[in-house]
């Protein structure tokens, strides 16, 4: 059985061919290129198959579910086969850009298009912080988990939006406002430290209060061996709910990439999001 309940949608082209929805509960796999191991993998199928057969002969094929992927063993034939997949319910998929939360229960999303998808392993009430050059006079409708907020671009720039009640194990679509380059999603009550590039050799350390009361604390940026920073420790007090505070630091170090994570001490709900820096 699939681990995650997906959303209605369509499959992208696959290395072996394409998946075509013939009806709400019937999927055809058109094989254009037979893989060397004679197995095709269809990623992100959240609906459990009923049976899988070769379309021309009706012969049952060997198949298995690997997480949310369907893996089918192709029959021996001279021509590429057409595979018929009958489903136990209407087609639901897990989009390839679906993101799960990190160990602190935080989603850190860099959208590649007008939508993003996230899934919660357990139910949670969350808020969203949008980051990027957003037109302050623009108007937006933020929709997630069946709830909608009408907000201005100015509100998106200044504060978190929410709360949204996320059910567990269900893929949810979040529309990305124009100009947004990064989105932070965290459970309500969390105080979150995140790292953002601001210029070559510079980082901005951002602390966002996803809670309902003012927050105070200290944030430290541990550095890899051989690295130094113009500053690496900051304190804050009376950070209002929904608001953020940030500091800029300059880094020097050997060429390469290193993962860093700000260490935050802001009480029981302190959380942080890792970031890979490049010099």
**CA nearest neighbour of 3 among 90, 98, 127, 97:** 98
β-strands 69-73, 39-42 pairing: antiparallel
User: Helices (DSSP H) in the chain: which residue ranges?
Assistant: 153-158
Average pLDDT over residues 37-54: 94
Is pLDDT above 90 for 236? yes
Distance CA 182, CA 109 (A): 6
Distance CA 113, CA 189 (A): 29
pLDDT tens digits, 111-134: 989 999 999 988 999 999 999 999
pLDDT tens digits, 176-224: 999 999 999 999 999 999 999 988 889 999 999 999 999 999 999 999 8
Instruction: Check: CB of residue 142 under 8 Å from CB of residue 151.
Output: yes
Distance CA 81, CA 78 (A): 9
Sign of CA dihedral 157, 160, 163, 165: positive
Beta bridge partners of 129: 184
Task: Tell me the domains of the chain and their CATH numbers.
Answer: 17-87 (2.60.40.1180), 108-183 (no CATH), 191-278 (2.60.40.10)
Say what the pLDDT of residue 248 is.
96
pLDDT tens digits, 58-111: 999 999 999 889 999 999 887 889 999 999 999 999 998 899 999 889 999 999
Distance CA 141, CA 166 (A): 18
Element (H, E) at 199: strand 191-199
Using left for φ > 0, alpha for ψ between -120 and 50, and beta otherwise, residue 146 falls in left
Name the token pair of 51. Answer: 């049976």
Average pLDDT over residues 32-38: 92
Chain centre distance of CA 190: 18
pLDDT > 90 fraction of the chain, expressed in percent and rounded: 77
Please confirm whether the linkage preceding 62 is cis (ω < 30° from 0).
no
Q: What are phi and psi of 153, to 5 degrees?
A: -60, -35
**CA nearest neighbour of 16 among 38, 39, 34:** 34
């Amino acid at each position: 059985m699939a681990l995650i309940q997906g959303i209605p949608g369509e499959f992208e082209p696959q290395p072996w061919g394409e998946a075509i929805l013939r009806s709400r509960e019937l999927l055809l796999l058109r094989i254009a290129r037979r893989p060397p191991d004679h197995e095709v993998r269809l990623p992100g199928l959240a609906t459990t198959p009923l049976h899988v057969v070769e379309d021309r002969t009706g012969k049952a094929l060997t198949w298995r579910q690997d997480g949310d992927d369907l893996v089918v063993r192709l029959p021996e034939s001279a021509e590429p086969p057409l595979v018929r997949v009958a489903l136990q319910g209407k087609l639901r998929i897990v989009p390839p850009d679906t993101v799960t939360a990190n160990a602190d229960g935080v989603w850190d999303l860099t959208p590649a298009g007008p939508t993003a998808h996230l899934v919660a392993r357990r139910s949670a009430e969350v808020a969203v912080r949008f980051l990027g050059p957003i037109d302050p006079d623009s108007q937006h409708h933020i929709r997630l988990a069946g709830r909608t907020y009408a907000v201005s671009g100015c509100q998106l720039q200044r504060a978190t939006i929410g709360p949204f009640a996320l059910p567990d194990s269900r893929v949810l679509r979040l529309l990305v406002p124009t100009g947004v380059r990064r989105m932070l999603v965290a459970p309500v009550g969390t105080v979150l430290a995140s790292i953002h590039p601001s210029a070559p050799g510079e980082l901005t350390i951002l602390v966002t209060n996803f809670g309902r009361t003012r927050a105070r604390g200290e944030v430290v940026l541990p550095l890899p061996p051989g690295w130094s920073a113009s500053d690496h420790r900051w304190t804050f007090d009376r950070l209002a709910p929904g608001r953020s505070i940030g500091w800029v630091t300059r880094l020097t170090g050997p060429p390469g990439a290193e993962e860093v994570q700000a260490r935050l001490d802001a009480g029981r709900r302190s959380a942080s999001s890792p970031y890979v820096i490049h010099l």
